[in-house]
Chain A
Amino acid sequence: MADPRETLVRAENVRKWFGPLEVLKGVSLQVAKGEVLSIIGPSGSGKSTFLRCINQLETYQDGRIFVGDDLIGYDLQGERLVPLPQRRVVEQRRNIGMVFQQFNLFWHMTVLENIIEAPMLVLGQRRDQAVETAMGLLRRVGLAEKANAYPMKLSGGQQQRAAIARALAMKPDLMLFDEPTSALDPETTGEVLNVIADLAESGMTMIVVTHEMAFARRVSDRVVLMDNGKVDCEADPETFFRDQPSARLKEFLATIH
């Protein structure tokens, strides 16, 4: 892609095994600052695993993932990858927000407490400052009146919007979305997709693993098909969905339509 923008995420030949099973077989991808990349693919294709490698919820065993200047999870000594100490991994995660399929809001805290927790604990923000940011974010995702509710009292769509606000409160450079609407009713899917689309509009760099083709087409700058632990093809959304530049993609799109 002829984009003059600076590259934020650079994955080179990333490989990962779960025991003897090779789940990532050399994934290479780049995401520019401000770009929205959607990853689609059949289940078991490694798309979620790849996403989780970017913030080290999973470790990869070979290749490189750079976010900005940071080599994620490793220190490069010559050509050898030396695992970073846990403390450094924890630091690297601060700038990378993640939204999960199951929301994973801390159920023992109110929505507001969920959002201010990490900024206060990890970034050392003062409470009033964290609350101000949090309320701004809650207004942005349309949940200001739910600030003092516990997650169990919210619908799935509301929980996911709160989870997005929680991730944004850390002011990340990059947002990862791991099938953010797969656990939602069709009625509430829309409200979450709108929030994500808004965020895309605002210039946030995002990688979205999704099964929502219409959404991927509407919001993404680029779409990638992952299959069997590899990138099968990538293109801008128009080309991707109209021309369907690979046989595997044609097959995949045919099965889901």
Chain B
Amino acid sequence: MGFDWTFFWSRLTDPGDLYLIALGRTVVMAVLAMALGLVIGVVVGFGRLSRFLVVRAVCGFYIWLIRGIPVLVLLVFFFSGLAAAGFFRFSDVVVFGFTLSASFQAAVIGLAIHEGAYMAEIVRNGIQAVQRGQIEAAKSLGMGTFQLTRRIILPQATRVIVPPLGNDFNHLLKTTSLASVIGVQEIFQLTESMSATTFKTFELLIVLSITYLLLTTIWNVIQGMIETRLRRHERDDGPSGFIEKALFYLRPRVDAALERR
């Protein structure tokens, strides 16, 4: 009994190649799912505001459906469910010399479809937050629909969209652990299998938690940088110096309290 400090320190300071590869898998999975989810979110978000009832209805249905199903169920559904019914079976693919396993692909797609539904609502909200006067001004200057969407609506909506999107990504970084269930060798799965052989479950889970904390902390800083840049119209003086910047980016944000789920 007791806490094995030596084991803990050695895992923390020298996690080993296997763990680092798993960590890479976690990050790549999150980034790919986010990118794909963002594409889905933008398309469906605009679709929700379409002039055409059918488009609005289809997009609304997608959001309603996906937001009502647990991610875990979605992942298993995409990996095992579709294959069991004989609809579609993921198989390993080699891209630029990297093997993307079937379970990895299913995880990315499942997470992206899940994220897309939430992002669609965020995007729609961002578009609707653009004031009518801004659009009228653009029209009065002779801009067409495409021009004013690209130059006025999108940049302004982006500033509303980015903070909640950042929170979503933070959430997604941790949600990737669910992919362990369908056999993706990410950090949670690796930790599980290591604790089965070493019985150092407690120490390993703390190392794992610290790893997730590290990921979300790095993301917080990046998100802060993006937001500060997008808010340059509000501030004349950005924080200067490394410490000041780090403190500024790590400060608690109002919108963090509004984090959904």
Q: Are B147 and A108 in contact (CB under 8 A)?
A: no
Q: Are A55 and B140 in contact (CB under 8 A)?
A: yes
Q: Are A93 and B134 in contact (CB under 8 A)?
A: no
Whether A94 contacts B142 in the complex (CB less than 8 A), given A106-B152, A107-B156, A117-B151, comes out as yes
Q: How far is the CB of B126 from chain A (nearest CB, A)?
A: 13
Q: Are A106 and B143 in contact (CB under 8 A)?
A: no
Q: What per-residue 1/0 map shows which CB atoms of A144-157 lie under 8 Å from chain B? A: 00000011110000
Q: Judge if A251 is at the interface, Cβ distance under 8 Å.
A: no
Enumerate chain B residues within 8 angstroms of A87, measured Cβ to Cβ.
Answer: 144
Q: Judge if B261 is at the interface, Cβ distance under 8 Å.
A: no
Q: Judge if A76 is at the interface, Cβ distance under 8 Å.
A: no
Task: Classify the interface of chain B: helix, strand, loop or mixed.
Answer: helix
Enumerate chain B residues within 8 angstroms of A163, measured Cβ to Cβ.
Answer: 137
Q: Judge if B244 is at the interface, Cβ distance under 8 Å.
A: no
Complex Cα–Cα for A106 and B145 (A): 16
Query: Interface size bucket, B side?
Result: 20 to 34
Complex Cα–Cα for A14 and B156 (A): 36
Counting chain B CB atoms within 10 Å of each CB, the highest count among A57, A105, A108, A152 belongs to A108
Q: Judge if A216 is at the interface, Cβ distance under 8 Å.
A: no
Q: How far is the CB of B7 from chain A (nearest CB, A)?
A: 53
Enumerate chain A residues within 8 angstroms of B234, measured Cβ to Cβ.
Answer: 150, 152
Whether A104 contacts B134 in the complex (CB less than 8 A), given A121-B151, A153-B236, comes out as yes
Enumerate chain A residues within 8 angstroms of B142, measured Cβ to Cβ.
Answer: 90-91, 93-94, 118, 122, 170
Complex Cα–Cα for A153 and B235 (A): 9
Q: Judge if A202 is at the interface, Cβ distance under 8 Å.
A: no
Q: Judge if A229 is at the interface, Cβ distance under 8 Å.
A: no
Q: Are B233 and A97 in contact (CB under 8 A)?
A: no
Enumerate chain A residues within 8 angstroms of B141, measured Cβ to Cβ.
Answer: 93-94, 117-118, 122, 166-167, 170
Q: Judge if A223 is at the interface, Cβ distance under 8 Å.
A: no
Pick from A93, A107, A150, A151: contact of B139, CB below 8 A. Answer: A93
Q: Judge if B136 is at the interface, Cβ distance under 8 Å.
A: yes
Q: How far is the CB of A92 from chain B (nearest CB, A)?
A: 9
Q: Judge if A65 is at the interface, Cβ distance under 8 Å.
A: no
Q: How far is the CB of A54 from chain B (nearest CB, A)?
A: 10
Complex Cα–Cα for A96 and B159 (A): 30
Q: Are B233 and A105 in contact (CB under 8 A)?
A: no
Chain A 127-170 residues near chain B, CB threshold 8 A: 150-153, 163, 166-167, 170
Pick from B134, B147, B155: contact of A121, CB below 8 A. Answer: B147
Q: How far is the CB of A170 from chain B (nearest CB, A)?
A: 6
Complex Cα–Cα for A121 and B147 (A): 8
Complex Cα–Cα for A87 and B139 (A): 11
Q: Are A100 and B136 in contact (CB under 8 A)?
A: yes
Q: Judge if B133 is at the interface, Cβ distance under 8 Å.
A: yes
Enumerate chain B residues within 8 angstroms of A104, measured Cβ to Cβ.
Answer: 131, 133-134, 136-137
Give the number of residues in A that approach B within 8 Å (Cβ atoms).
30
Enumerate chain B residues within 8 angstroms of A108, measured Cβ to Cβ.
Answer: 155-156, 159, 233
Closest to A99 in B: B140
Q: What per-residue 1/0 map shows which CB atoms of A222-241 lie under 8 Å from chain B? A: 00000000000000000000
Q: Judge if A7 is at the interface, Cβ distance under 8 Å.
A: no
Q: Are A122 and B137 in contact (CB under 8 A)?
A: no
Enumerate chain B residues within 8 angstroms of A93, measured Cβ to Cβ.
Answer: 139-142
Pick from B137, B140, B147: contact of A106, CB below 8 A. Answer: B137
Pick from B134, B139, B233: contact of A57, CB below 8 A. Answer: B139
Whether A122 contacts B233 in the complex (CB less than 8 A), given A102-B133, A106-B152, comes out as no
Q: What per-residue 1/0 map shows which CB atoms of B141-185 lie under 8 Å from chain A? A: 111110100011001100100000000000000000000000000
Closest to A105 in B: B137
Enumerate chain B residues within 8 angstroms of A86, measured Cβ to Cβ.
Answer: 144-145
Complex Cα–Cα for A87 and B151 (A): 18
Closest to A169 in B: B141
Enumerate chain B residues within 8 angstroms of A208, measured Cβ to Cβ.
Answer: none
Q: What per-residue 1/0 map shows which CB atoms of B228-244 lie under 8 Å from chain A? A: 00001110100000000
Subset of 12 A-B contacts with CB under 8 Å: A86-B144, A93-B140, A98-B137, A100-B136, A104-B133, A104-B134, A117-B151, A118-B141, A122-B142, A122-B143, A166-B141, A170-B142
Interface residues of A (CB under 8 A from B): 55, 57, 86-87, 90-91, 93-94, 96-98, 100, 102, 104-108, 117-118, 121-122, 150-153, 163, 166-167, 170
Q: Known contacts A104-B137, A150-B233; can you find 15 more A-B pairs with CB under 8 A?
A: A87-B144, A90-B139, A91-B142, A93-B142, A102-B133, A104-B133, A106-B137, A106-B156, A107-B156, A108-B155, A108-B159, A118-B138, A121-B143, A152-B233, A167-B141
